Amino acid sequence: MTLSKKHLILDVSTRWNATYAMLSTTLEFKEVFVNYDDRKSTYKTMPTSEAWDKVEVICSFFGLFNEVTKIISGSEYPASNLFLSELYGIKEVLDDLSLDESKYMRDMDLKMKKKFDKYWGTCNLLISIGAVLDPRYKMKLVEFSFSSIYSADEAPKKMKIVQDTLTKMFEEYVEQHKATNVVQMSSAPDKSEIGVKSGYNKLSSTVGINSGTAKYDQHIISVDTFASVKSELDIYLEEGVYIGDSGAYFDALEWWKEKNLKFKILSKMAADVLAIPITTVASKSAFSAGGRVIDAHRASLGTKTVDMLICGADWYRHHYGLHKKKTKKTDDMIYIELP
């Protein structure tokens, strides 16, 4: 196709990190274009100095997306607690860019914001709740980010939605835990019967002790479940945020595992929420990997064998620091007009 004007063609409009990699590499070889223009008379598409200036500006802007992509769209799929802080930063930059003096940057920002708002612009409850269940953030990050993302009137309403949803979820886990305890207590053998079957001589005394212990156990389990578990969420939110070493790796799931005795129900809820994948990249990758493993000659493999092959390959790559090669073709393009 012949273009009437020179354009910078972004072959994948939503892969902003890939665009950054392409342009930043081009900048490194800026002088090569000049030398090639001098030596090759047929070369007629030499970028102007103004075009190079545009590329530098775009690169500085896309650098943020490149760093964020390493966190939320890499081969190692993170838990949901990492998204809100990064997406909030992107949202803030996009809002600032809409006021940029350059028309080409404003036009690009308009298209990017449309894509961004389609997927992340509204109050995403899973992302917000995942952030709250990170002990480094809790409700502090929600309050901090929402005050910038939304207007002064909308921010409190959105925060209340997050708080109410979190409370309802926790109440459901409490009810589920209480129901499990009831089933366990009803299926447990009666200690008085055990005492009788054991043939103790002092039957009345033994039965009295065991039946009293059984009643006390049943009472304390029901009281402890109702009283302490119901306030776990409040205790967690009222405590100060966890402050670790700057730049140190932090595993929220590991933290909840260590706090399992203190937050018996909330830790189960946190593990369930943080394990939910936020993007569809992981599922698409699984189907792609499955297609490579289960080819025409291996179609009769059992499900457990396929699981072992796919998981084993992922663990092997992770252990040796290897990365998958990703290739994708699409007709979704963006044209940035160059002078």
Q: Convert the pLDDT of each residue in 271-284 to its tens digit.
A: 999 988 776 554 44
Find where tokens 């929220």 sit.
252
Q: What is the mean pLDDT of residues 138-156?
A: 88
Contact 174, 114 (CB under 8 A): no
Residue scoring higher pLDDT (148 or 262)? 262
Q: Could you give the 3-state DSSP secondary structure of residue 199?
A: coil
End-to-end CA distance of the chain: 19
The single-letter DSSP state of residue 334 is E
**Dmax (CA) of the chain:** 111
The strand pair at 334-337 and 7-10 is best described as antiparallel
Q: Could you give the 3-state DSSP secondary structure of residue 74?
A: coil
The rounded distance, in Å, linking the Cα atoms of 242 and 244 is 6
The rounded distance, in Å, linking the Cα atoms of 293 and 10 is 32
Closest CA to 64 of 109, 11, 8, 31: 109
Q: Convert the pLDDT of each residue in 54-79 to its tens digit.
A: 888 888 888 877 777 777 665 455 67
The rounded distance, in Å, linking the Cα atoms of 45 and 34 is 11
The rounded distance, in Å, linking the Cα atoms of 112 and 107 is 9
Contact 172, 166 (CB under 8 A): no
Mean pLDDT value across the chain: 75
pTM above 0.85, yes or no: no
In one-letter notation, the amino acid at residue 191 is K
The rounded distance, in Å, linking the Cα atoms of 291 and 283 is 13
CA distances from 225 to 168, 187, 189, 229, 239 (A): 17, 18, 21, 5, 21
Q: Convert the pLDDT of each residue in 24-60 to its tens digit.
A: 888 888 888 888 888 888 878 888 888 888 888 888 8
Question: Does residue 258 carry a pLDDT above 80?
Answer: yes
Count of beta carbons in the 10 Å neighbourhood of residue 126: 15
Q: Convert the pLDDT of each residue in 263-311 to its tens digit.
A: 999 999 999 999 887 765 544 455 555 556 666 666 677 778 877 887 8
Q: Convert the pLDDT of each residue in 180-231 to its tens digit.
A: 877 666 665 555 454 444 444 444 444 545 566 767 666 666 655 444 545 6
